[in-house]
A and B are shown apart, each in its own frame.
Chain A
Amino acid sequence: MNSARLCSRRHFLQANGFGLGSLALATLLRKDGLLAAPVKPNLGPDNDFNLLPKQSHFDGKAKAMISLFMMGGPSQMDLFDPKPMLTKYDGQNFPGEIKYDNLAQASSKVFGSPWQFSKHGECGMELSELLPHLGKVADDICLIRSMVSGVSNHAQGLYAINSGRITAGNPALGSWLTYGLGSETEELPAYMVLSHPGGLPTFQGEHFTNGWLPALYQGTVVRATEPRILNLDPPPSLAGDGQRRQLDLLRSLNEEHSSENPGELDLRARIASYELAAKMQTAAKEALDISDEPEHIKKLYGVDDPVTRDYATRCLIARRLVERGVRYVQVLNAGQSWDQHSSLLGSLPKLCAATDQPSAALVTDLKQRGLLDSTVVHWGGEMGRLPVLQNDAGRDKWGRDHNTFGFSQWVAGGGFKGGHVHGETDEWSHKAVVDPVHHYDWHATLLHAFGLDHTKLTYKRNGLAASLTNDPGARVVTQLLA
């Protein structure tokens, strides 16, 4: 793992196609110097924010993360959280208390999962038949069945799980990680977002905004179709020295302008973005091109199958990005496709068919490359669903309403336990009752896996030290960690 990362830096030194030798060397020396010193982000208006690698607060196994985000609220009792009681009471009135997202409206008829669960792996993790591929990596994943955010609706749910707060405009998880740890690559953005051909998820840019962190830490969106990044080719007459000379002049003009405008962090971010763009011209093209991946690898992900092709390609690209030092990669769906208020029987299998194999392949592939130890793979959405049915207008129209009081997600690698199931919901898969994990607990634990103390990773804002885990009750859930 470490060698792969070092490799990307060595690669950078050798491949100075733009005549970057001295600049590169200087930067690397600076990086190494900084690597040796404990770096607490240094704050204040005249401060030089950058993407140089930062030392974590303590040793953490995780170095990178791939978030397979499933906007809409995947149905946990149909995928991850088997409940015989639901089957037993299927079609009958729900005997307990429901926390409807919408009070007094949803039906109270129990909706037993129509799908079978079976045990997988040595750990015997019970998973739905909709996720046959995930079953094959059950021993590598940590399944959390007791997620809670307790907030209402998609917007708040997303903000909570993605930014730790329930309003818009706050920094996303990926921004916090790149802010806290910097980047391991100089050739690619530290934080990259792989979007779906159908468009961005609901709430669009909120998924990868830097919020009030400096603009340097925002996610860079990669297009869903080829060319995934536009304008990677310099004009032939300027390729090489010519463009380097342009960028040098540009830098000197911009530095002067920036010194006239102290405290304007966006100007600093733009100066950095030109340097990054120069390197991306070769690096991004190479990183995003899966054509030289061996056939068996493409097949493993499902690149060969039209049903899985898109998601498989993006998962494979995500692995390539992490391999090349990208800190945080988000693989997004479109709209809120996991929001099955109706027609769950038809749409859930389709969503699973498109994503199950690629998601599991990502775990397998990272593992066989020795990268899983240092890469967190996360699969989950902003909420789950209710045990009772919604839209009682014929079986094919049945759906389930929102549930933020108990839902599931899984995580693999980066120091999280494999073959482990954490927490329980009640017998109906409605509310987390054993070892609940609030979104802020999840964030605290995740940062811990990266060697970051969630109370210390802060940014000074309007006189206050703001952190990702904006809740005094946030705690590291050590049972999740190996």
Chain B
Amino acid sequence: MKRIGLVGLIVCVGMARAEEASLTFEKDVRPLLKAHCTLCHGEEEKPKGGVDLRLRRFMDAPLDGGATLLVPGKPEASELVAIIERGEMPKKGHPVPPEQLDIIRRWIAQGAKTARPEPETLGHGPLITEEERSHWSFQPVKRPEVPEIEGAATPIDAFLATAMRKEGLDFAPEADRATLLRRVTLDLTGLLPTPAEVETFVADPDPTAYEKAVDRLLASPAYGERWARHWLDIVGYADSNGYAEADSARPHAWRYRDYVIRAFNEDKPWDEFLREQLAGDELAGATHADYQAAVLDPKKRDQLIATAFLRMAPDGTGDPNDDAKLARNQVVAEQLKIVSSSLLGLTVACAQCHDHRHDPISHEDYYRFRAIFEPAYNWEAWRPPAQRLYSLYTPEERAKAAEIEKAAAAINAEAREMSKKFLDEIFEVEILKLPEAEREPYRLARATAEKDRSPEQKALLKKYPSALALYSLNLYDQKKQDLVDAKVKEADALRATKPPQSFVMALTEVKGQVPESKLFNRGDHEQPVRSVTPGELSILAAPEIESFQPAAVSSGSSGRRLAYANWLTSGQHPLVARVFVNRFWMHHFGRGIVATPGDFGLAGDRPSHPELLDWLADEFVKGGWRLKPLHRAMLLSHAYRQSSENPRSLEADPDNRLLARHKLRRVEAEAIRDSILAAAGTLVDKPFGPPSTIARDTAGRIVTGIDKGTITAAKVEPGGEQDFRRSIYIEVRRSKPVTVLDTFDAPAMAPHCEMRSQTTVAPQSLLLMNDTFILDSARRLADRVHEEVPGDERERLRRAWMLLFGREPSESDILRSLDYLKLQTATLTVFHARQPVPAPAKDAPVPAPPDPAREAFASLCQVLYSSNRFLYVE
């Protein structure tokens, strides 16, 4: 009963209120009619039977058969009620449930009132009702008072405690320090705390020890490497183009990844971060043909790099694909999907083909939204990925490169000349083999360009094929070919001395080119219907708020994106800040205040703590859109610091919506891999730059390394330290997900990921049991522990526990481990004794003899890596 009460409180408040108040068309009746009736009776071009139920006043129209649809005050005389009662309507779909019909009856009995005068006309797209307009997430953020509640350590706690105390719950006590440090370290950096960090923290008598730890972690470069990953999921970061079979490389995307990591580490204000990503080119004054000044200025270059946010969608337009125009429009559609769900928390994609099914977003809205981006994504004057790269050459480098190119081209011309001369010489010898009469005609035929040759000439050349000597010098004279080749190599060598050129991947507009935006029938670009102007979604462009007004910027760009970015970050937008703080909350607490982080619309989840969400959003904006203070506010709350032990909460609130305990979570894919490497002592801290490469190995896994495979056989060579960098620096090839990450739910970027799934399946267990990655890491961890603790086995176990779990093993842990090591050593000794001794290779160093005890310890390390204590954060 308890739980039912709880749900009732959270979910059914709105319903209860409807029962008490007098009923209105907009609030109580229209939603029912919309669900059951208006598809036929209102939304079609010609409403069926002439009955249009979209507005109350339409119901006054007389019916064909003479009956009256609606008699205010008299439900029994109203055909609307009768026809439903008789079961004749709705013709298809579910019958109207009795309780809903009862609402209609009562509404008519009360006089069939509307809440306000109805609109005079209904235009394109759906009518947005006051009720839709009043959906919680479309309202301006309203800062609530922080509830006064005893014992609440922070404002966040005050909001949470208010809700949970209504259910007779209270927070769990604070978690023990070792647990807390492990939790917050993994959370902020994606890495484990070191044993020294744990020891210091546990022993620190300072009451602000935890606060200091949070600040230390927020200042760590590893913070950006962890939190950038969350944003890269949402934007769909990949180092490949996707879409087409080829999944070609996107070799310059990494600059954007680095930009994001730096933005987090520098605590770049989020409003600036968004403006740069949406309109960095316009801020930097760059256009497609005029970007030189921007790339040479570090700040502007960063702004340009930031626009790669809008280049994240899969883009197959540079690769072979079936339908080039479709491929272009797909890029735009996917990019809009990313923009809308990442920034607005709305799924606009449905409206590409028709009015949105759940949200008040019309087909027209979608194309107005699309028009904001069309000057940069002009599908009829398309620029494929290769034409969206901007060279980082300085003018000097450019001049030098041109000079070298000129010289190299001259050498190439020389080589061609040489080849021609050699062939002509050969021809003069070869032609003597022909009958004299045919020599001149043959010479003439040879000198004639291939397309101009007469049939007779072609026949003649065919008659004496070997005399032609126009191509294939190597077949006539390899030595002369070698001379030509040497010349070509000379040109290549010269070209190699050009200053190395690097590129920025960015989104720009072509100066002055502003295509006319059209609404596409059914989303089909081949069926443009009517022109549209750029604009915000109608539902978000509330008349009382000044939403964006595009004004061309001086560079010649349309300024549409800049105006839009300014509006989004004005602090007036109802969604941007809410959507953002909700995501932060989700990453810290395991679920969002709105559990559907990419859908704040009518079909999305309702906030569990609406006031808290608004307080956070307002605090964030007022505080200058800074991330780190937002982290601190959440992390210093008791809600974050509490332990997972709270039997009452577990009983009454198993989903933990009220947050009266900490809920255990599995560590994310990247943090699992990085922590495994870090514990083994092999993680390479080499930030930024081009990604570590990946390849398919002979077992079919995708691993880090250098691809030496052929079409027929896979082969991977070790990539040295590149193989051991943090996961965020590993190449993201959409068609080749890295096995270790993929197995633990790293997302496939198609086109992006709103919220990762957290699966528990046997392939994960198989990976931890048998994959070379884990076996190698366990071996290295064993080596590390032996190096650091040479003598005592117990001490080694203690060390391993501290490295992986941040806590000491219990005595029973030690005893069962010692027991395990003894037996496992014996098994491995037997195994090695049975292995044939390989014949010693000449001059090769003698391989070290097997060390069963060390191998046994490595196999123990593997068990610890595979254990739930390692894989979950408590």
A residues apposed to B, CB below 8 Å: 45, 97, 99-106, 148, 150, 152-153, 156, 167, 189, 199-200, 204-205, 209, 215-216, 218, 220-221, 223, 225-227, 229-238, 241-243, 245-247, 249-250, 252-254, 257-258, 261-264, 266-267, 269-271, 273-274, 276-278, 280-281, 341-342, 390-391, 393, 401, 405, 431, 462-464, 471-473
Residues of B within 8 A of A205 (CB): 757, 759
CB distance from B98 to the nearest CB of A (A): 11
Inter-chain contacts of A199 with B (CB < 8 A)? 748, 750
Given A102-B354, A254-B867, check contact A462 B771 (CB 8 Å): no
Separation in Å of the B735 CB from the closest CB of chain A? 9
B324 proximity list for chain A (CB < 8 A): none
**Contact across chains for B766 and A229 when beta carbons are under 8 A apart:** yes
A227-B700, A237-B831, A390-B522 known; A463+B354 contact, CB < 8 A: no
Closest to A255 in B: B868
- B354 engages A277 (CB within 8 Å): no
A232 B770 Cβ-Cβ under 8 A? yes
Most chain B beta carbons < 10 A, residue from A220, A274, A280: A274
Q: Which of B216-224, B267-275, B580-588, B817-825 contacts A (4 or more CB under 8 A)?
A: B817-825
Interface string of B444-486 (1 = CB under 8 A from A): 0000000000000000000000000000000000000000000
**Is there an interface contact between B4 and A234, defined as CB atoms closer than 8 Å?**
no
> Nearest chain-A residue to B650 (Cβ)?
A263
8 Å CB contact of A237 from B527, B855, B860: B855
Q: How far is the CB of A74 from chain B (nearest CB, A)?
A: 20
Contacting A at CB under 8 A, from B837-874, are 855, 859-860, 862-864, 866-869, 871-872, 874
Whether, in the assembled complex, B664 has its beta carbon less than 8 Å from a beta carbon of chain A, the answer is: yes
Specify which of B655, B813, B869 lies most central, judged by the most chain A CB atoms within 10 Å of its CB: B869
A231 touches B763 (CB 8 A): yes
Contacts of A245 in B (CB 8 A): 820, 823-824, 827
Interchain nearest-CB distance for A23 vs B (Å):
16
**Contact at B94–A473, with CB atoms within 8 Å?**
yes
Taken together as a complex, chains A and B put the C-alpha atoms of A45 and B860 apart, in Å, by: 32
| Contact pick for A277, options B758, B762, B827, B864, CB 8 Å | B762
9 contacts between A and B (CB under 8 A): A220-B761, A230-B767, A234-B769, A249-B860, A249-B863, A253-B868, A270-B868, A277-B765, A473-B95
- Interchain CA distance A59-B766 in the complex, whole Å: 36
Which of B40, B775, B869 is within 8 Å of A257, CB to CB? B869
Decide: A463 and B766 in contact? CB cutoff 8 A: no
The stretch of B41-49, B494-502, B509-517, B679-687 in contact with A is B41-49
**Of B94, B522, B650, B860, which is in contact with the most chain A CB atoms at under 10 Å from its CB?**
B522
In the assembled complex, how far is the CB of residue B322 from the closest CB belonging to chain A, in whole angstroms?
A: 10
Shortest A325–chain B CB gap in Å is 15
A270 B871 Cβ-Cβ under 8 A: yes
Would you call A281 and B655 a contact (CB within 8 A)?
no
Q: Which residues of B contact A227 (CB under 8 A)?
A: 699-700
Residues of B within 8 Å of A152, CB to CB, are 357
How many residue pairs bridge A and B at CB < 8 Å? 205
Identity of the chain B residue whose Cβ is nearest the Cβ of A258 in the assembled complex: B868
Complex Cα gap A232–B527 (Å): 52
**B741 lies within 8 A of chain A by Cβ:** no
Contact check, B354 vs A103: say whether CB atoms are below 8 A apart.
yes
CA of A269 to CA of B762, assembled, Å: 10
> When the two chains form their complex, are residues B701 and A278 in contact, meaning their CB atoms are under 8 A apart?
no
State A281–B823 Cα separation when bound (angstroms).
Answer: 23
Interface residue from B603, B758, B763, B766 paired with A167 (Cβ < 8 Å): B603
Contact across chains for B43 and A218 when beta carbons are under 8 A apart? no
**B interface residue numbers (CB < 8 A to A):** 1-7, 39-40, 43-45, 48, 92-95, 97, 350, 353-354, 357, 521-522, 524, 526-527, 603, 644, 647, 650-651, 654-655, 664, 666, 699-701, 739, 743, 748, 750, 757-767, 769-771, 775, 813, 816-817, 820, 823-824, 827-828, 831-832, 855, 859-860, 862-864, 866-869, 871-872, 874
Does the CB pair A102–B817 fall under 8 Å?
A: no
Contact status A250-B770, CB under 8 Å: no
B824 touches A242 (CB 8 A): yes
In the complex, the answer to whether A257 meets B767 with C-beta atoms within 8 Å is no
Instruction: Write out the residue numbers on chain A whose beta carbons fall within 8 Å of the beta carbon of B769.
Output: 231, 234, 243, 246-247, 274, 277-278
Q: A405 to chain B: which residues have CB within 8 Å?
A: 92
The residues of A that contact B824 with a CB separation of less than 8 Å are 242, 245-246
- Asked if A45 and B859 sit within 8 Å, CB to CB, the answer is no
Give chain B residues whose Cβ lies under 8 Å from the Cβ of A97.
40, 48
Task: Judge whether A235 and B775 touch: CB under 8 Å.
Answer: yes
Asked whether, in the complex, the Cβ of A218 is within 8 Å of the Cβ of B759, the reply is yes
Cβ of B71 to closest chain A Cβ, rounded Å:
28
Contact A249 B868, CB 8 Å, known A150-B92, A220-B761, A233-B770: no
Residues of B within 8 A of A243 (CB): 769
In the complex, besides A99-B40, A150-B93, A229-B766, 20 extra interface pairs with C-beta distance below 8 angstroms are A45-B651, A100-B44, A102-B522, A104-B44, A105-B521, A106-B522, A167-B603, A200-B748, A230-B700, A230-B743, A231-B767, A238-B859, A242-B824, A242-B828, A242-B831, A250-B866, A270-B760, A276-B762, A280-B762, A463-B7
Which residues of chain A have C-beta atoms less than 8 A from B757's C-beta?
Answer: 205, 209
Bound: A266/B526 CA distance, A: 49
- List residues of chain A with CB within 8 A of the CB of B758: 266
Q: How far is the CA of A225 from the CA of B735 in the complex (A)?
A: 13
Report B-chain residues with C-beta under 8 Å of the C-beta of A106: 522
Measured in the bound complex, the distance between the Cα atoms of B529 and A105 in whole Å is: 11
Cross-chain contact B869 with A253 (CB below 8 angstroms): yes
The answer to whether B869 and A263 have CB atoms under 8 Å apart is no
Of all chain A residues, the one with the shortest Cβ separation from B97 is A472
Q: Assess whether A273 is in contact with B701, with CB atoms less than 8 Å apart.
A: no
Which one, A230, A267, A472, contacts B739 given CB within 8 A? A230
Contacts of B871 in A (CB 8 A): 270
Question: Which residues of A have CB within 8 Å of B700?
Answer: 223, 225-227, 230
| B651 to A, closest residue via Cβ | A45
Asked if A104 contacts B827 (CB within 8 A), the reply is no
Task: State A273–B766 Cα separation when bound (angstroms).
Answer: 9
Asked whether B765 lies within 8 Å of A263 as measured between CB atoms, the reply is no
Q: Considering the chains assembled together, what is the distance between the CA atoms of A99 and B91 in angstroms? A: 12
Min C-beta distance of A196 to chain B, whole Å: 14
Residues of B within 8 A of A278 (CB): 769
Could you say which of B3, B739, B859 contacts A242, with CB atoms under 8 Å apart?
B859
Whether A250 touches B867, Cβ cut-off 8 Å, given contacts A103-B354, A274-B765, A462-B3, is yes
Which one of B354, B651, B699 has the highest number of Cβ atoms from chain A below 10 Å of its Cβ? B354
Compute how far the CA of A230 lies from the CA of B703 in the bound complex, rounded to whole angstroms: 13
CA separation between A266 and B644, bound complex, in Å? 15
Q: Is the CB–CB distance between A261 and B664 below 8 Å?
A: yes
Across the interface, name the chain A residue whose C-beta is closest to B595: A169
Q: By the criterion CB–CB under 8 Å, are A153 and B350 in contact?
A: yes
With contacts A230-B766, A245-B820, A270-B871 known, is A99 near B92, CB below 8 A? yes
Residue among A263, A271, A342 with max Cβ neighbours from chain B (10 Å): A263
Residues in B with CB closer than 8 Å to A235 are 770, 775
B867 x A241 contact (CB < 8 A): no
Interchain nearest-CB distance for A216 vs B (Å): 8
CB distance from A235 to the nearest CB of B (A): 6
State the CA gap A405–B762 with chains docked (Å).
39
Residue of A nearest to B852 (CB): A237
CB distance from A225 to the nearest CB of B (A): 8
A257 and B867 form a contact (CB under 8 A): yes
Q: Which residues of chain A are near B5, meaning CB under 8 Å?
A: 463
On chain B, the residues within 8 Å of A281 by CB distance are: 766, 770
Q: Return the 8 tightest CB-CB contacts between A and B, nearest first.
A: A463-B3, A277-B765, A102-B354, A463-B4, A231-B770, A215-B760, A231-B766, A269-B760
Contact in complex: A462, B655 (CB < 8 Å): yes
Contact A220 B654 (CB under 8 A): no
Given the interface pairs A102-B354, A246-B862, A405-B92, the reply to whether A241 lies near B827 with Cβ below 8 Å is yes
B1 contacts across to A, CB distance below 8 A: 463
Residue on A nearest B353 in the bound complex, by CB? A102
The answer to whether B869 touches A101 (Cβ under 8 A) is no
List, in ascending order, chain B residues with CB within 8 A of A257's CB: 867-869
